[in-house]
Amino acid sequence: MRKSLLVVVSMLLLVTSVLAQAHRTVTGKVTDESGTPLTGVSVSIPNGKSGTVTDARGVFTLSVAADVKSLRVSFIGFEEKSIQLSSDNLGTIRLVPDTKSISEVVVVGYGTQKRKDVTGNIASVKGASISALPVQSFEAGLGGRAAGVQITVPNGVVNNPPVFRIRGTNSLSLSAYPLIVIDGVPTFSGDVGSTNAPLNPLSSINPADIESIDIAKDAAATAIYGSRAANGVVFVTTKKGKAGKARVGYDGWVGITSPNRLPKVLNSSQYLMIKNEGLANAGDARRYVANLDAKGDTINTDWMDIVYRDKSISQSHSVNVSGGTETSSYYLSAGYTKQQGILERNDFVRKNLLLNVDQRLGRAFSVGGKVSYSNENSLISGSSGSLEGEAFNSGGLARLAFLTSPLVAPYNNDGSYNVVDGGIGGGKNTLPVGIYNPKTMLDLDHSNTEAHHIQGNVYAEFKPFPWLALRTTYGADYVIMNNDMFQNALTGDGSSPNGRATSIHSDYKRWVWTNTAQFDKSFNQHNINVLIGNEQQRDQRERYGLRRDNQADTYFNNTEGGFLSDFSTDLLRRQNYLLSSFARANYNYKEKYFLSANVRQDQYSAFGENNKKGVFYGFSAGWEIAKEQFWADSKLSEIFSSFKLRASHGKVGNLAGLGDFDALSLYEPRPYGGTSALYYSQAGNPDLGWEVSKKTDIGISFGFLQNRITGELAYYNNNINGLILKVPQPPSAGIPSSTVSATVPANIGEMYNRGVEFNVNAMAITRKDFTWNTGFNIAYNKNEITKLVGEVSSIPFTTSTLEQTSVNQVGQPVGMLYVVRTNGIDPATGRRIFINAAGEEVYFNIAAANRYQYADGKVAPAVGVKDAVAYKNTNPKFVGGFENTFRYKNFELNVLLTYQTGFYVYYGSYAGLKDNRYWNNSVDVLNRWQKAGDQTDIPKIVYGDNISNGSSFAIAANVFKGDFVKLKTVGLTYIIPDAVVKPLHISGAKVYVRGQNLAMITKYPGPDPEVSSNGNNASGQGIDRNTLGNGRTVTLGLNVNF
């Protein structure tokens, strides 16, 4: 080792000495467009070794050989400039901000790389493009901004994690969410709260603090994260200080959100007509009657008005201070945001601090770190019915808003709450009118999660030689949560326990210790970069709760107050450990031929004893053809300024979402009549191991006309083996399970995602006063399950453990809608026509002795879930975005359209909206069948019928195309002229107006085809069951820099 180091060092000395020739000294000053000096700008001789950086005043002095004709001036975030050495004093060199992604630096695992050197597939999104969006977490703003990235905001509950997919769905039962790495530390994702208010840990980051987001998609770019890379890796880099004078910035906005496309339901006279018609048709003598309010007017309650906010207000403010010298830099920011959801009582509040510090010590050492703290409050009254598992909650507010009869009011005429026996009272009606009184629950209940989220890391770096960097980083990520719930005793789920308060404390704790050594070497235009490292990651989770029932007095509404019965609840303690070593080698020759290899070995505690270790790898190669002589000599060079071919292949894994003890067979303690008892509770699998994705990626990246137009085209093929399926066992086997269907996890499924991505960015117009930048991306993905379990070729999925809506089936994409086919309404009789599994048409009449009949009147077997077929695909074939930015003088207009096409959504709420029990209905039922010959898609109304409409089992009549184009964001910014702001000691200021979700083109009849009742669950996507839609937001913002 020592010998070889010696050789390398002497070679270096040799190279340097060869270069020693006659010299001259040049000086200059580098500033940005506004004339502010830039510090730390690298000034170098093209293709040469010697160079310098600018000082705090932006000034540089460099000794160069006499024959050097030009200098290269480059700085992160700015366009590189080549300066002809016309004289020794070059005066002021103004750099313009870089808007072409192709020349940026991108974050790769454990380091950075120049965009042009990257041979893996990495998409980058600038922090600025999402910094001022009215979203709670940054990833909700990524939709449409990068090819192959699909973001679905599943509902309008604030702080709900979006559905995040990169290049399709890459897992069935584990998480399909990408790995999120924040400043080098992998963080938590998903909903980590324990209440009805979701808590997305990623919302602890103020989007305004984000410098860049780099999305690694192929095996080459992700393999350094080995067993966690299969869903892609998202690198988030927060802002750091830049050398130069201290800067102070303020960014703030206020906004109004309003509910969008809510279903229209019957008023009380329509309700009376429809329900009483149904009772008559059912041969039932009972009738609904109108109620009168205190003034004697007929009660006609629009429950939507009670459950939804007409206008909700949001605001966000952040202040940052940053600066630095040649040896140190700092960035400190503080933020506050309060965002109201469209649902009453649903709020998100975040206060956060971020400090990034870097310090060089002498020539070889540097140390630094980051501390971020956020306090987040996710607030809601109770179940919205929108989170995973909530769809059929009796108290789900989105459903109560459309289900509850308009005949009754929230209050009795004496001003008390309208509640009877824990439910909503019907006034003069003895027939049911609803479930619970939502107003009472909105007024009295709460279900809040407060999180303290601390993320930090410290690093020390030692560079004994210019070509060697040794680095150790210790990172920690702690989410400490208090969940605080109360359910009143009058109505709702709290009435049976006579009032219930619950407090749950929950911790997510992680530490990560990473040690790397990096070698960088260039000689004879061979550039070599080698990284080796090891890493340990330890996760610990703990949760415990106290539930108290039997409220002693209506005054009390928290667990510390007066309640009579105490119970422990939500107990959990888990841990896992990931031990890894990894290496990467990058090589290029003349920045023309590129080779890269990554390898990582992971050992993970949660896998079975026979399968704890895994090795992952990625290889890639690139060829910058535009740098070849033959290309330069040809006409092509006049068109293409760069043209790079690249290809990669690798093997990566997935472990996200696997339970820490899923591989073990366990016994659970649970008392039996007050004595200790222990029962067999889990069948494990000692062979349980990684899900393995073998990914191949082939792409071209190109630039035309001095990179005025740049783009990328990529084809990928991802074959996934060993998908962990919770393999369903016949219930008769008696394998233990806390749910009805027992499963054992095993690496057994196979699936692929194949697709093509294309994106192009163009500076279409670059006049002095007017510029137009346009970017378009599109991704096509095909997903197919190729193997499930042995003879079982389909595994159904049940939404919220109640309604079978989806199926994973061999030969089909993941999460097909699994519904009973329908063939409209029989015009002669008004009966729903089902198509059973055998393909026969079966007519249904709930009032008949034989409810199911064939067309000829013969009795047919009952139609049910067993007749369901894999009906339609829920995976968008195409997703993408189209962004345009126009600048005219001081105005900037940014318009982002996003789209998804080629998929279907099951509008399960629509079944409820046509339910012929006491439920209120969509105004669509006014168009019901009434007499022979009526052509309609709404069957004859028969009170009590919950089958024709699809409440009993999912039917095809409630499946709709989900294709949409959304006007996702429109932003108009006005940069306040210097003449106005300079006298105020302000270096720059702008005001802006933004609209979010302003318009949508879709044939989907529900509130929003971007929806998911099953959250991020891969197998249950495309379900819209009793879910809150998304709001439409307009914000007004101000950005000031001092």
**Of residues 592-611, those binding another protein (CB under 8 A):** 603-606, 609
Considering the complex, state which of residue 369 and residue 423 has its C-beta at the smaller distance from another protein.
423
Q: Does 792 bind another protein (CB under 8 A)?
A: yes
> Distance between the two ends of the chain, CA-based, in angstroms?
52
Quick one: which segment of 94-102, 185-193, 572-580, 1004-1012 binds another protein (CB under 8 A)?
572-580
We find the least distance from the C-beta atom of residue 675 to another protein, in angstroms, to be 6
Q: Does 284 bind another protein (CB under 8 A)?
A: yes
Considering the complex, state which of residue 368 and residue 745 has its C-beta at the smaller distance from another protein.
745
Binders of another protein among residues 710 to 739 (CB under 8 A) are 727-737
Select the residue interacting with another protein from 150, 171, 495, 506 (CB under 8 A): 495
Give strand pairing partners of 596. Answer: 586, 620
Pattern of binders to another protein over 496-535, x per CB under 8 A?
xxx--------------x-x-x----------------x-
DSSP string for 41-70: -EEE-TT-S-EEE--TTSEEEEEEETT--E
Quick one: which segment of 493-501, 553-561, 690-698, 1012-1020 binds another protein (CB under 8 A)?
493-501
CA distances to 34, 353, 788, 933 from 331, in Å: 22, 10, 51, 73
Quick one: which segment of 191-199, 230-238, 762-770, 857-865 binds another protein (CB under 8 A)?
857-865
Q: Does 365 bind another protein (CB under 8 A)?
A: no
Query: How buried is residue 346: exposed, middle or buried, by Cβ count under 10 Å (0-12/13-18/19+)?
Result: buried
Backbone torsions φ then ψ of 742, nearest 5 degrees: -80, 140
Considering the complex, state which of residue 553 and residue 791 has its C-beta at the smaller distance from another protein.
791
Q: Does 790 bind another protein (CB under 8 A)?
A: yes
Binders of another protein among residues 545 to 564 (CB under 8 A) are 549-550
Select the residue interacting with another protein from 282, 367, 454, 998 (CB under 8 A): 282
Select the residue interacting with another protein from 740, 838, 933, 985 (CB under 8 A): 740
Select the residue interacting with another protein from 465, 704, 878, 882 (CB under 8 A): 465
Dihedral sign (CA 109, 115, 120, 124):
positive
Select the residue interacting with another protein from 677, 764, 932, 984 (CB under 8 A): 677
Q: What is the DSSP letter of 422?
A: T
We find the least distance from the C-beta atom of residue 842 to another protein, in angstroms, to be 14
Considering the complex, state which of residue 944 and residue 1005 has its C-beta at the smaller distance from another protein.
944
| Residue 1021 · residue 1014 · CB < 8 Å | yes
| Residue 372 · residue 385 · CB < 8 Å | no
We find the least distance from the C-beta atom of residue 643 to another protein, in angstroms, to be 40
CA distances to 38, 64, 65, 68, 87 from 25, in Å: 20, 6, 9, 11, 10
Q: Does 892 bind another protein (CB under 8 A)?
A: no
Distance from C-alpha of 177 to C-alpha of 882, rounded to nearest angstrom: 24
Q: Does 361 bind another protein (CB under 8 A)?
A: no
Considering the complex, state which of residue 629 and residue 675 has its C-beta at the smaller distance from another protein.
675
Quick one: which segment of 338-346, 468-476, 591-599, 981-989 binds another protein (CB under 8 A)?
468-476
Select the residue interacting with another protein from 300, 536, 558, 774 (CB under 8 A): 536
Binders of another protein among residues 179 to 238 (CB under 8 A) are none
Q: Does 99 bind another protein (CB under 8 A)?
A: no
Q: What is the Cβ-side half-sphere exposure of residue 834, based on CA atoms within 13 angstroms?
A: 29
We find the least distance from the C-beta atom of residue 68 to another protein, in angstroms, to be 32
Select the residue interacting with another protein from 523, 567, 589, 770 (CB under 8 A): 567
Q: Does 668 bind another protein (CB under 8 A)?
A: yes
Considering the complex, state which of residue 340 and residue 580 has its C-beta at the smaller distance from another protein.
580
Binders of another protein among residues 623 to 662 (CB under 8 A) are 660-661
Distance from C-alpha of 720 to C-alpha of 703, rounded to nearest angstrom: 33
Helices and strands in the chain, H and E counts: 10, 53
With b meaning 16 or more CB within 10 Å and e meaning fewer, what string describes 716-735? Answer: bebbbbbbbbbbbbeeeeeb
Q: Total number of residues binding another protein (CB under 8 A)? A: 104
Binders of another protein among residues 420 to 459 (CB under 8 A) are 421-422, 432
Q: Does 576 bind another protein (CB under 8 A)?
A: yes
Q: Does 674 bind another protein (CB under 8 A)?
A: yes
Element housing 465 (H / E) = strand 446-465
Considering the complex, state which of residue 708 and residue 726 has its C-beta at the smaller distance from another protein.
726
Quick one: which segment of 403-411, 462-470, 614-622, 775-783 binds another protein (CB under 8 A)?
462-470
Quick one: which segment of 5-13, 50-58, 113-121, 249-257 binds another protein (CB under 8 A)?
5-13
Q: Is 78 helix (H, G, I), strand (E, B) or coil?
A: strand
What token pair was written down for 97?
Answer: 């901000």
Q: Does 689 bind another protein (CB under 8 A)?
A: no
Considering the complex, state which of residue 511 and residue 623 has its C-beta at the smaller distance from another protein.
511
| Residue 43 · residue 27 · CB < 8 Å | no
| Residue 306 · residue 439 · CB < 8 Å | yes
Q: Does 362 bind another protein (CB under 8 A)?
A: no
Looking at the chain, how many residues does it have? 1042
Q: Which parts of 362-416 are beta strand (E)?
A: 365-379
Considering the complex, state which of residue 468 and residue 698 has its C-beta at the smaller distance from another protein.
468
Strand order in the sheet with 869-872: 794-799, 803-809, 816-819, 869-872
We find the least distance from the C-beta atom of residue 804 to another protein, in angstroms, to be 7
| Residue 645 · residue 627 · CB < 8 Å | no
Q: Does 470 bind another protein (CB under 8 A)?
A: yes
Select the residue interacting with another protein from 528, 862, 965, 970 (CB under 8 A): 862
Taking residue 742's Cβ as centre, other Cβ atoms within 10 Å add up to 20
Distance from C-alpha of 303 to C-alpha of 271, rounded to nearest angstrom: 13
Select the residue interacting with another protein from 26, 62, 176, 683 (CB under 8 A): 683
Considering the complex, state which of residue 51 and residue 944 has its C-beta at the smaller distance from another protein.
944
Q: What is the CA radius of gyration of the chain?
A: 31
The alpha carbon of residue 761 and the mean position of all alpha carbons in its chain are separated, in whole angstroms, by 24
We find the least distance from the C-beta atom of residue 737 to another protein, in angstroms, to be 7
Rounded to whole angstroms, the maximal C-alpha distance in the chain is 110
Select the residue interacting with another protein from 44, 50, 472, 522 (CB under 8 A): 472
Backbone torsions φ then ψ of 1038, nearest 5 degrees: -140, 135
Select the residue interacting with another protein from 671, 857, 933, 983 (CB under 8 A): 671
Binders of another protein among residues 744 to 763 (CB under 8 A) are 744, 746
SS (H, E, C) 800-817: CCCEEEEEEECCCCCCEE
We find the least distance from the C-beta atom of residue 386 to another protein, in angstroms, to be 19
Quick one: which segment of 221-229, 318-326, 678-686, 986-994 binds another protein (CB under 8 A)?
678-686
Q: Is 419 helix (H, G, I), strand (E, B) or coil?
A: strand
What token pair was written down for 296?
Answer: 């004697």
Select the residue interacting with another protein from 59, 280, 865, 998 (CB under 8 A): 865
Q: Does 34 bind another protein (CB under 8 A)?
A: no
Taking residue 183's Cβ as centre, other Cβ atoms within 10 Å add up to 24
With b meaning 16 or more CB within 10 Å and e meaning fewer, what string describes 777-813? Answer: bbbbbebbbeebbeeeebbbbbbbeebbbbbbbbebb
Distance from C-alpha of 565 to C-alpha of 546, rounded to nearest angstrom: 10
Considering the complex, state which of residue 554 and residue 801 has its C-beta at the smaller distance from another protein.
801
| Residue 250 · residue 134 · CB < 8 Å | no
Binders of another protein among residues 953 to 1012 (CB under 8 A) are 953
We find the least distance from the C-beta atom of residue 298 to another protein, in angstroms, to be 26
Closest C-alpha among 459, 461, 77, 57 to residue 239 = 77
